[in-house]
Structure 1
Amino acid sequence: MRNITLFSSEHHKFILLNESEPGEEDGIRSNQYLVAHGEHGVLLDPGGFGVMPRVLSELLRYIGPDSLKAIMLSHQDPDIVGGIATWLELSNAPVYVSRIWLRFLPHYGLSSMERFVGVPDEGMCCEVAPGFTLDLIPAHFLHSEGQINVYDPVSRILFTGDIGAAMMPVGTDDPFVDDFAAHLPYIEGFHRRYMASNRAARLWVEAVSALDIQMIAPQHGPVYRGAAVPAFLEWFRELECGVDLMVAAGRFREGEPS
């Protein structure tokens, strides 16, 4: 599947850099996104080491690595951070990640952390370039302790990391979720097991509901649009997950996903 432009105006684009093929990552499509404003760009969750050359190839359709003004990491997992050392060599972009992961990331073979910016727990507004601003939104414990989302106020797209991620069947390549009820079987098990608790989910939904969201763009699976956006938020607000489902140490309610 080719790259998908989720939003485009004269000076601004939000693009899904669709480098993955069906079957990669055990059937889970890994999404990398480019937010481009004029000659400047921001790369969201650049991906693991193995996909880096293909992500770069797709990026070059729009901008060169020297035009990257920021790289933003939703959390610390290797499918997000594994290729970061090469991106640091190719660009001069600062890298934004939750401050709690700054001590962890050197284990990815990084020789210096001087270009990393620790995002505070409450999030922050990031002025990438004049007239180009992105909001970094806290999403703690969903699933990472230091999860952050990125909201683009121009396209009104919310990049949510693993929130909304789907475990799609191999060979399924629909880029959008329009019918949330039909999509639910592909997200329910993952969210019930990997998200920490209903309290964390509810607080996040309350926070992002103040935003004007046209699309929810997760790190795995298709992008939510139209009626699927409020439907997902309503479902996630009420979801029992993580520690809500524990009945004893190492045991969850019968029938819960493992």
Structure 2
Amino acid sequence: MSKIYNYDDPIAITDDIYWIGFCDESAHMHCNPYLLIDGDEAVLFDPGSVPEFPIIMRKIIDLINPEKISLIVVAHQDPDVCANLPIVEDLIGRADLQVAGHTNTMRLIQHLGFTSKLYVVDEHEYRYTLKSGRVLSFHPTLYLHAPGAITTYDAKTKSLFSSDLFGALDDEWSLFASAKFPQDMDSFHQAYMPNNQILRFGLKNIEHLDIARILPQHGSVIEGGKVQEAFAHLKGLRCGIDLLGG
């Protein structure tokens, strides 16, 4: 019997990684911000949209003092991923807050009007080290579906924050992937990813990692044996211009 979750609360994915998103039963696309807590320091992944800001911030406050957030990772520039960045920045309220992303993302999100220091991952060997020594590594998945798209890997928990990659559209959403999850990924990738060639190239950049779970920005968390199933499924998926014919 599957566990029933209260989606009004933050939900623990691991001992120190939490889903802080919003469950909209009428939506076909759910957005999933995450919070990683490492002692007295925290990292926020893809802070979300403006309409969802009150829900996301309430869940952060339920877990920690927002001032503990030292880094916000922005995997790409879409408004559902980071439009609330200036508001989140203001609520965190620390002068040394940094925003991490790829050059091609930073060039665009600066127009959102936030003032925090940029941490350009491709200028820092695609790594960020927390005060504890815990390392986050960044892995480009360019053009999936943004020119500066990145994923983030936490070696301590073997967790991959995959942004839009491995995302899904579904009518019966759950936080953790169901048995039919591979097919739930189809329509999202077919609509948003350029083609299978670029998709396979991006997957190749991350498949060497020891991944226990995938935490996508849309859809459901993919764990255990489903991880390799997800890779295999997407490698064979025609998408984008593959479907246009001619």
TM-score exceeds 0.5: yes
Structure-to-structure mapping, 1:212-251, within 5 angstroms: 212-247=210-245
The equivalent of 1:251 in structure 2 is none
1: CA distance between counterparts of 2:237 and 2:187?
11
**% identical equivalent positions:** 25
* Deviation at residue 227 of structure 1 after TM alignment: 1.7
Given residue 199 of structure 2, which amino acid in structure 1 is its aligned partner?
A: A
Q: CA deviation at 1:165?
A: 1.1
Name whichever of 91-100 and 198-207 sits farther off.
Answer: 198-207
Task: Normalising by structure 1, report the TM-score.
Answer: 0.85
Which residue in 2 is equivalent to 1:174?
A: 174
- Cα distance in 2 for residues equivalent to 1:106 and 1:162: 21
The letter of the residue matching 2:109 is L
Change over 3 Å in CA distance of 1:86–1:208 after alignment to 2: same
Q: Which runs of 4+ in 1 moved over 4 A?
A: none
Matching of residues 7-156 of structure 1 within 5 Å: 7-8=14-15, 13-23=16-26, 26-91=27-92, 92=94, 93-108=97-112, 110=113, 112=115, 115-120=117-122, 124-156=126-158
Is the contact between residue 121 and residue 146 of structure 1 (CA under 8 Å) also seen in structure 2?
A: no
Using the alignment, how far apart are the partners of 2:241 and 2:217 within structure 1?
23
Q: Which residue of 2 aligns with 1:254?
A: none
Aligned partners of 1:232 and 1:134: how far apart in 2? Answer: 22
Q: Deviations over 1:174-202 (max 9, x none)?
A: 221152xx223322122122112222222
Distance in 2 between residues matched to 1:185 and 1:59, nearest whole Å = 32
Larger fraction in strand: 1
- Alpha-carbon contact 2:190-2:239 (below 8 Å) kept: yes
**DSSP-derived class of the 1:103 partner:** helix
What is the Cα deviation at residue 119 of structure 1? 2.5
Q: Deviations over 1:26-64 (max 9, x none)?
A: 332111100111111000000011111211110112211
| Count of residues in correspondence between the two structures | 236
Asked if the contact 1:139–1:149 (Cα under 8 Å) also holds between the matched residues in 2, the reply is yes
Tell me the residue number matched to 1:255: none
Q: Which amino acid aligns with 2:222?
A: Y
CA distance in 1, matches of 2:144, 2:173: 25
Aligned-partner Cα distance in 1 for 2:82–2:230: 27
How many angstroms apart in 2 are the aligned matches of 1:16 and 1:102?
A: 24
The 8 Å contact of residues 105 and 149 in structure 2, kept in 1 or not, is answered as no
The residue type paired with residue 25 of structure 2 is P
Once residues 54 and 138 of structure 1 are traced to their aligned partners in structure 2, the CA distance between those partners, rounded to angstroms, is: 29
**TM-score (ref. length: structure 2):** 0.89
Out of 93-102 and 35-44, give the one that drifted further.
93-102
Counterpart of 1:44, as a letter, is F
Change in 2 beyond 3 A, CA 1:244/1:81: same
The CA deviation string for residues 126-163 of structure 1, in whole angstroms up to 9 with x for no partner, is 11223222111111111111101111111111011111
Indicate the RMSD between aligned Cα atoms, in angstroms.
Answer: 1.9
